[in-house]
Structure 1
Amino acid sequence: MPACYATPADHKFLLLESIFPVSAQGTPALFWSPEKPLTHLPEISGVDPVSANLLQQEYLKPLMQHSTESAVVFLKDRLHIDDFTKFADVYSLDSDGGAFKNIKSFMDEYFSLEIPQVKDPLKAVKELKSSFVGAVHTADSLAAVEKLNLGPSQKFLLIVELSPSSDLNDEEQTIASNDVTVGAVCHHLQKRGIKYTAMFTGKSSSAHQAEEFETFSGRHLLDTSESNIGTFVNISGAYLFLREVLVHIAHKDEKITLNLTVTDTFADESDINNNTALIQFDFDGTSKNGTGDYTVKITFNTTLKGDRWTINKILLSVDGIGEVGSNGSLSDSPLRTDDMDLVIPVLYSYHCSSMKMYVDYIRNKDLKDFQGTYVILNGLQMQPFNVQNEAFFNAQDCVGFFSRGIWMGIFSSLILLVILIFGVMMVLNLSTPDRFDDPKGKTITIAQAED
């Protein structure tokens, strides 16, 4: 998705929800310049956060180190894209910007650019400050700016520290107050005839906008205290969580249920790369009737492709099964997941409360003797790529496209619809009685025989 470059005629203030997820991680950064178009800047992807280094090299440097222009950075303590959703009245066609009234006015009137999510913008600002060629000033109000010796012939970097939010309840009031400060400072610079490029951003993402994820500790509503007990591991930056695993092996007439234990090292053999991840779960266990020891390996092959990552295949290996012909063992046997959506948005994790998968003997005839063999992973959550803020991102659940509830609703609606159509057809087939006398016509007289 290209960057949101704007002119006074076509700009729509921060209607980012139609392009970017509202739960985007990172801090927005807004640029505007009264004099200079911003079309030479790189395009922005709607799913990938901009790093501090990229912000510095590709945006701040070209914009704010021009030989004849000064730079102004407005820094709020915390800022999230949800703040615009809540306080900017973005869904109203006649909106004046709400708490961001002055910022909206500048974005509409001047050349502007929006970056919806930046990782650690404060780091980029510090790098700009250390490398800026010219005077560097810091202020926290219009009065402090007025005291500075600023002029159109002097190139400078002005960093304006906006008022922090002391309480979540006064967030809108604080934003509105800071917006007034931004407007006052920009108008003051214009009166002095200073050419500048401005940026409005936050030091960090809003604390109250922390992303939702399964915490695996404490209790959830209507949950028992045991329901969130599980094992969490971090393997080379990949986050994995598993509560329990059950393997049921049906080999011809023999049925084996394995009692497995999830340990802290259950995923140590996983191999994580930039665009591929081999997630391997290893378990040692015994059958519930104590007939033997078994080693179980479950492998997830995942790939990162652009704006999504996919689970390509899931394989099961079990050592310890007695050799019975060519079909007596399970080695890298595919598991069937036909009703599960295994394509996940790039920033999201994958979660399944109870993931039941059968050995795929339908496509692999060599596994026909294992018909009925299945694996259940309870409380599974994984995110092999793009883990941010040391937490799982919002999860895509393993519910199929049509759940049982949806089918129940569809069938119930169809039954009611059939009844309605039948009733309407019955009403339409009613005819007006035509066996009565016409009051304007000749009277019908029926002669009666006399005795």
Structure 2
Amino acid sequence: MSGSRRSSRVRATAFIAFFFALFSTGSSTAQVPVLMWSNDGLPPLAPPAAGHITSDDQFAAYLNSAFGSGPHTVLLFLQDKLSKDDFTVFGGVFGNKQDGAFQNLEAAVQSSSSSVTLPALEWSGSSAILAMLQEKLGVSPLLVDADTLPHLSINASVSNLLLLNLPYCTSLHKPCREVLRDNDEIIGNVLSTMKAKNVPYTAIYTGLQPSRVIAERSMSNQPVGRSLLQAVVPDVKAPIMFNASGGPCIMLWAQNLSVSLSERPVWIDLAAQTPSVTGSMCNSSNSRLVLTYPSGITLSFFMSQRFYPVSARNWFSLDSVQLQANGSTAAFIGSRSIYAPAEYSFHCQSVSSFQDALLVPNNTNQNTSQWRLNFVDFQIQGFGLANGTNFSYASDCAGFFTPGIWMGLLTSLLLLFIFVYGLHMIMQLNTMDRFDDPKGPSISVPQSE
């Protein structure tokens, strides 16, 4: 009994040491962590030194020793992205472990008969690990999930490579901790199924590519000697532009053009795709920008320009946005906040149809009532483009009197009132017009008997 406790303690210590090794690993080379554990035994592997990056050849040599002879059943949990920072940030190693996103994974590694951890495996391609396992096992991968695995018959007398794809978090999907916790639950369910089937297996958890890559800057083009530190300017996407016969007439740019086509929001960022502008048009009073994406989604922006006598100038407005997908169309009416002078562009940090909505849904179709739009750092101009490369001066959607400004104004007025009241009280003070002379004769008051 004491021996089992000691081995469990050693495995727990090794797992915690793995996380500390993650903190010590520092390199600008793209890398992914790899966790391997088995209920049938793995050949021993010395823990890598801090900062060591395991090469593909070293990992292939270890796979040869692990799967060199006999049939093996391998579970490959291949996440879309994974880096050592995911363990250190969301693992719950420091602080509250109950809030960690890898509880089932940690329990599986600690309870296994043997485990191997590689904090940094050199990443050479999205299919490198899968190709290595195919070569060592001599079988093609079988794509499964937690729902189909219980109904799958596994023949332990031959090698099996079971592939389970796991998603990774995006900025608009859900918090990373929740996504990784859902993946951890899937891993726990799959391992419980394998335990119920009583099949010996080896499990591998890694990433298809790093979630955080630090690019190495080439030193060949760097000047030799001292130089001032300077910020690295990120790559900026070019704006979407529609050119008519007279030149460019519509321009649009956004950091994110995200749409959701389901009741439970699963966001698709269209800004990462290159659209076609076929069907767009513009004239002196109306403009239409039609963006057709390779994913089959079409976004259409309808703008108009009119003259307002009160301001004695032309103004343009974004009247509506149409979203077409899967043979259905949803319309979103632009509120009165989406407008600007005709020679200006319109800019807004957030244009959405569900929170502080500037785009109001105008579709009663049940299939499209749950569709949503969310544009981040959105800028559009449909008229008065002075040149074909830059937007005109931007009219921003943010109001001047924000809550912070109102609080500052009210506080200043209150302090001014106190100051004026105090000054008024001081000015009302009067000095005495008569004083007693201490050198003069004293006042005597006769006493009557």
TM-score between the two structures when normalised by the length of structure 1: 0.42
